[in-house]
Amino acid sequence: MSDKPWLDKIKAIVGQQYGKVYAWDHVNQPMIRQWCEVMGITNPLYLDEAYAKTTEFGQIVAPPAMLQAWCLEGLHMNNYPPGSTDENPYEVLKRFEAHGFESVVAVNSDLSFARYVHLGEKLYYTTILNDVGDEKVTALGTGYFVTLVMRFYSEQANGADEYVGQLTFRVFKFAPHQKPTPQTDDAAPAVPKILRSKPGISQDNAFFWEGVKARELRIQQCQSCEALQHPPGPVCQHCQSDELSYIVSSGKGSLYSFVVMHYPEVPPFEYPNPIGLVELAEGVRMVTGLEGFAKGELAIGSEVELVFNEFEGELTLPMFRKVGA
Amino acid sequence: MNIAGKTAVVGLGQTEFSKNSGRTELKLALEATLAALRDAGIEPSEVDGFSSYSVDKVPEYEIARLLGCKEVNFFSQVPHGGGAACGPLLHAAMAVATGVAKTVVVYRAMNERSWYRFGTGSYGFSDSPIFQHVNYGWYMPHGFHTPAGWIGMFAQRYMHEYGATTEDFGRISVAARDFAATNPNAFFYEQPITLADHAASKWICEPLRLLDCCQESDGAVAMVITSAERAKDLPNKPVYINGAAQGIAPGQQEMTSFYRPSITGLPEMGIVAKRLYAQSGLTPQEIQTAVLYDHFTPFVMPQLEEFGFCARGEAKEFVRAGHHARGGKLPINTHGGQIGEAYIHGMNGIAEGVRQVRGQSVNQVENVKNVLVTAGTGVPTSALIVSDQEAE
């Protein structure tokens, strides 16, 4: 018994078994080929039927390390094939969350294999909650190591399903020392997503970014001498008046200059990343990302038009695209 | 009063230049400073002034403490990184010429490559109202976030208006690597390149290729400045500061002066040029060699124009004729530049200017009397002229 009754309750379910989770597809050549391509594996045992027939296996087999891949849910979370269990093997992690251990990091993922699997086999796995450790203090925070074992089987017509291998999956469920690490889902390692940085907003330029939210491209205008200026400031650079307002741009312009960013590749941007110095019809210039230009098509003088693009993290940016693109 | 000819560089010291110094910036600063003081024949405790420039994180008080300085009367740190490079010599010259200080150490010590890396494109800007965040907030959210990118925007327009080509940029890089190849202190010692190598190097940011970009380096350089009068009693041939100036021009920003009527020139460098020639009484024809700041090759071209070595838009002809290269009429960056020797934020270029006047460069130009040295381009900038004779 520990001094934490809630922990004793969690530990009491160690040994619990969870039902079958099926593979969406039988073991098949297209998935093997794609997996090998991505992993850079060229072993003909996995890819060449004629060669595979000359081996002790007599047929194509799947790379053993693909074992877990066959039974993953795919693009949509928790979308398992018909016949799969409704039980949640990760329920133990939810229980820890109720006690403030809201973060998770995967620490071990060990595969072992009983035999090769071959084309046409239908796989499933069952899960056992193998262990819940005692409280540990690590560099990440204070929490508990939780070990799950997934046993993989090949379904057989005669009911004598064959064990083919297993995955021992260990996570650390913890309360961070400082602010919590953003989570993705229960069992995946928590990796913070990198977003575009947000613009600095002050009293001097807030009208511009409020305009962007309202889908207007606003150019600062001096009420005293009527000059336009961008980037905006707290006074007019021509007459130093602080009586400032703005006009709304037509969104028409042309490329005064441009670059194409290639290196270093910094997330979340896509490369090559074209950037334009756009001369607006109103006469001021503005720097933004560009779109709609094919490779080699960028040219000084190209006509461009305004678009507003929304990005993750509540960011909207004015950008310009090639007219007619 | 005119500061020209009133002060001189009397000591020069530097560390090796590397990609990983393996020691602290403070240690580098002290190694370079102590070497400069030994070279000058001046006791460390005599130093009564210091000047450096921004991004250098070594405080002058700590150097003063470790040197055992008795009385320090002058200290400054000039803003804008590489653009400031010649600023500390202006400050030192002003301090000494006006009697504010007698012996000023200027220094630069950075583990830029192993500790920071300016080229990464990640600078931690946020959405706060602090000016820098507002200012760079026009660019960072679009992924327009590297010095190579910002310079590229000017370079593209320069090419468009004047007919310069990326190959012309390559000519500047090839000449720098040629000098570096014969400079044992250069990172690229014995590694010259060809125009074909330049053309084959990868795009960093079109129109800039890898070989248009300077290195990233660790290292330190320091110099000692004192009065021209005292310099005559010291062991080294005095290197007189006959011109030193800083400049900010209309529409100036830091790397992003995209909103000026024209973006093909460097008007801040033009302002500095006018001042230097007025201070020194010299003309472009009286400069035998120059160190033109080469963080990126394209901005070397408008510098040639702003300082009157060729007409506006004609730097391409200048470099096509090889005037900037070994044996040319104005060899530039004879240490190999920041492309070939090391990126010590311009301070290693000032060191080369001093060596050329002393006659101690490994790529010595004949009959050097006056050397122009410039600082970072695209930012508020500075430059100086050092000479073997005091300005009248």
Range of the domain at B95: 7-116+214-387
Among the partner residues B127, B144, B203, nearest to A200 by beta-carbon distance: B127
Query: What does the pLDDT read at residue B120?
Result: 79
Cα A281 to Cα B31: distance, rounded to the nearest angstrom: 56
Q: Percentage of residues in chain A with pLDDT exceeding 90?
A: 71
Do B122 and A263 make contact, defined as CB atoms within 8 angstroms? no
The answer to whether residues B381 and B247 touch, using CB atoms and an 8 Å cutoff, is yes
If you measure CA to CA, which chain A residue comes closest to B207?
A259
User: Which site among B125, B216, B259 would you substitute to test the A interface, given the most A Cβ atoms closer than 10 Å to its Cβ?
Assistant: B259
pLDDT tens sequence across B71-88: 999 999 999 999 999 999
- Contacts B202 to A, Cβ<8 Å: 262-263
DSSP class of residue B281 equals -
- Contacts B125 to A, Cβ<8 Å: 197, 200
Cα B384 to Cα B75: distance, rounded to the nearest angstrom: 20
Which residues of chain A approach chain B closer than 8 Å at the C-beta? 196-205, 230-231, 256-264, 266, 269, 272-273, 275, 277, 284-289, 300, 315, 317, 319
At B376, which CATH number?
A: 3.40.47.10
- Contacts A230 to B, Cβ<8 Å: 259
Query: What does the pLDDT read at residue A88?
Result: 85
Mean pLDDT, chain B, whole residue set: 97
Residue tagged active-site, from B162, B240, B277, B293:
B293
Query: Over 70: is that where the pLDDT of A154 sits?
Result: yes
Among the partner residues A197, A256, A266, nearest to B126 by beta-carbon distance: A197
Query: What does the pLDDT read at residue A180?
Result: 47
Average pLDDT score over residue span A68-77: 87
Do A196 and B157 make contact, defined as CB atoms within 8 angstroms? no
Do A201 and B140 make contact, defined as CB atoms within 8 angstroms? no
How is chain A split into domains, by residue range?
5-22+75-176, 206-322
pLDDT tens sequence across A110-143: 999 999 999 999 999 999 999 999 888 888 888 9
If you measure CA to CA, which chain A residue comes closest to B147?
A261
Do A275 and B143 make contact, defined as CB atoms within 8 angstroms? yes
B127 belongs to a structural domain? no
- Contacts B153 to A, Cβ<8 Å: 257-259, 275, 277, 287
Q: For residue B176, how many other CB atoms are within 10 A of its CB?
A: 31
Which residues of chain B approach chain A closer than 8 Å at the C-beta? 119-122, 125-146, 149, 152-154, 156-157, 160, 202-207, 210, 256, 258-259, 263
B135 belongs to a structural domain? no
Instruction: Name residue A253's beta-bridge partners.
Output: A280, A304
Using DSSP, state whether A301 is helix, strand or coil: coil
Query: What does the pLDDT read at residue B38?
Result: 98
Per the annotation, the verdict on B139 as an active-site residue is: no
Using DSSP, state whether B357 is helix, strand or coil: helix
DSSP class of residue B295 equals S
- pLDDT classification of A34: cutoffs 50, 70, 90: very high
- A:B CB pairs within 8 Å: 131
**How many structural domains comprise chain B?**
1
Query: Over 90: is that where the pLDDT of B225 sits?
Result: yes
Closest-CA distance, A290 to chain B, in angstroms, reads 9
- Contacts B205 to A, Cβ<8 Å: 259-263
pLDDT tens sequence across B118-135: 887 767 777 899 999 999
Residue A172, phi then psi, degrees to nearest 5:
-110, 115
- E strand or H helix at B224: strand B218-227
Long-range contacts of A5-14 (CB under 8 A, 24+ apart): A6/A95, A6/A98, A6/A99, A7/A135, A9/A95, A10/A92, A10/A95, A10/A96, A10/A132, A11/A132, A13/A92, A13/A129, A14/A129, A14/A130, A14/A131, A14/A132
Residue B143, phi then psi, degrees to nearest 5:
80, 20
Do A198 and B207 make contact, defined as CB atoms within 8 angstroms? no
Q: Using CB atoms within 10 A of its CB, is residue B180 exposed (0-12), middle (13-18) or buried (19+)?
A: buried
The answer to whether residues A284 and A230 touch, using CB atoms and an 8 Å cutoff, is yes
Q: For residue A274, how many other CB atoms are within 10 A of its CB?
A: 23
pLDDT tens sequence across B327-361: 999 999 999 999 999 999 999 999 999 999 999 99
Mean pLDDT, chain A, whole residue set: 91
Q: Percentage of residues in chain A with pLDDT exceeding 70?
A: 95
pLDDT tens sequence across B226-248: 999 999 999 999 999 999 999 99
CATH second-level architecture of A5-22+75-176?
Answer: Roll (3.10)
The angle at the Cα of B177, spanning B176 to B181, to the nearest 5 degrees, equals 125
pLDDT tens sequence across A173-201: 998 876 544 455 555 556 778 899 999 99
B133 belongs to a structural domain? no
Do B204 and A205 make contact, defined as CB atoms within 8 angstroms? no
Query: Over 90: is that where the pLDDT of A87 sits?
Result: no
Using DSSP, state whether B248 is helix, strand or coil: coil
Cα A212 to Cα A219: distance, rounded to the nearest angstrom: 11
pLDDT tens sequence across A265-303: 998 999 999 999 999 999 999 999 999 999 999 999 999
Do B138 and A231 make contact, defined as CB atoms within 8 angstroms? yes
Per the annotation, the verdict on B293 as an active-site residue is: yes
Among the partner residues A196, A203, A231, nearest to B141 by beta-carbon distance: A196
Among the partner residues B125, B135, B143, nearest to A273 by beta-carbon distance: B143
